Amino acid sequence: MTRIISFFTAVLMFLIPAVNIPKTALDTENANTQYTCVFVHGLSGWGEYDFYYRLAPYWGMFGGDLMRYLRARGVDAHAATVAPTASAWDRACELYAQLTGTRIDYGAEHSERCGHSRYGKDYSCVPLIKGWDAENKINLFGHSFGGATILLFAELMANGSDAEREATPADELSELFKGGKGDWIYSLTALSAPMNGTTAYNAQEDIEEDPEATVEERTDVALIYTATEYPSDRIKEDSAWYDLHIDGALELLEGIETQSGLYYFSIPCCKTVQAVDGTWHAAKSGMEPLFRASAERMGSMTGVTPGGFVFDESWQQNDGLVNTISARAPLNAPQRELDRDDIQPGIWNVFPVYDGDHMSLQGGMLQNNPVRELYMDIINMINSI
């Protein structure tokens, strides 16, 4: 989703009244915890530190600011702001600085290898939350690439980075890279997140190389993917562009282990319908028009990545930008279908596939999708564990 689209969305929000949604209360009677909830946006997204969040809240969109709604219900909720197209590593470092009220430290080894400044913005005067530690944990929510971001973030919090420890004097090493803080996070919820990458980029290339591709398809590709190309001042390996390709995503997962004390949840989405021949096609209604071209291509695509990974028919079901199978859980991690009566840590608890396109869990883009009660339900469930 591009910032150009967000501008038009903001304009439309003034023209279309917000849907009147029932006020769901926080279930304090059955709550065992009430930790702070931190939401991390996806590719080309924005958060509370961005001034236009007040015009077009990434979380909630047409239904109104989800953070404001949750706070009014008694939930301490915050929307982080991380770089729109940066790598999962850089975004994780930015998230840590915001949560701790410190200066961004991308790491000595990483910044030298990737050719950019080691330090970034200082949040010491404007931390996103206060009093975060092992006693005052957080629940993390990540939409789209925000899911990959919080997954790497949780890994660094728990185990730090060997490369950074080896390259940095002890008195200069960021606390993030020291590890030992895995118990500062209570739960992690990935929302339509391409944890194993997405074939959307393969669909993009397919459309660009197809002489019979329609003008509509080429236009959609231009709008969606232009903003996802890696920044000119960064190497490919240090960008969202790289981490979102299947090979890059799987490379990232090699350094991430499932933590035994952390509760993992995921909500995969689908807005495609399976045809008699087994392929998947964009639903006739309910899918953002912008995603239909990629949904169609992804729905009939199989192949092999340059790294040798075979994506077969099981990858065809999708939400317009992310393969449903990729949003379930990392392929190298234990997973099972969600059982609310037996939620266990150290394993991915997968919600039933949500009937919605890629922007549905965000609140919709040009179509309103009420999500307030959904998040209240998830938070009440987490609090009750």
CATH code for position 90:
3.40.50.1820
Tell me whether residue 12 is in a domain: yes
Chain centroid to CA 334: 20
Q: How would you write the pLDDT of the chain (385 residues) with one tens digit per residue?
A: 444 444 444 444 433 344 344 456 789 999 999 999 999 999 999 999 999 898 899 999 888 999 999 999 999 999 999 999 999 999 999 999 999 999 999 999 999 999 999 999 999 999 999 999 999 999 999 999 999 999 999 999 999 999 999 999 999 999 999 999 999 999 999 999 999 999 998 877 777 777 777 777 677 666 666 555 555 556 778 999 899 999 999 999 999 999 999 999 999 999 999 999 999 999 989 899 889 989 999 999 999 999 999 999 999 999 999 999 999 999 999 999 999 999 999 999 999 999 999 999 999 988 889 999 999 999 999 999 9
Give the number of domains in the chain: 1
Cα 78 from Cα 65, distance rounded (Å): 11
Tell me whether residue 207 is in a domain: no
Cα 268 from Cα 319, distance rounded (Å): 8
Amino acid (one-letter) located at 97: A
Tell me whether residue 154 is in a domain: yes
15: CB partners within 8 A, 6+ apart:
none
Tell me whether residue 365 is in a domain: yes
The pTM for the full model equals: 0.91
Tell me whether residue 21 is in a domain: yes
Tell me whether residue 284 is in a domain: no
Count of alpha carbons within 13 Å of 125, Cβ hemisphere only?
2
Which residues span the domain enclosing 61? Answer: 3-200+232-270+323-384
Locus of tokens 């399976």: 274
List the one residue out of 106, 97, 101 whose CA is nearest residue 167. 106
Contact by Cβ (8 Å): 383, 375: no
Tell me whether residue 70 is in a domain: yes
Cα 251 from Cα 135, distance rounded (Å): 33
Tell me whether residue 340 is in a domain: yes
List the one residue out of 186, 215, 198, 100 whose CA is nearest residue 148. 198
Helix, coil or strand: residue 273: strand
Beta strands in 222-368 (DSSP E): 263-267, 269-270, 272-274, 280-282, 303-304, 310-311, 335-337, 348-350, 354-355
Cα 374 from Cα 275, distance rounded (Å): 29
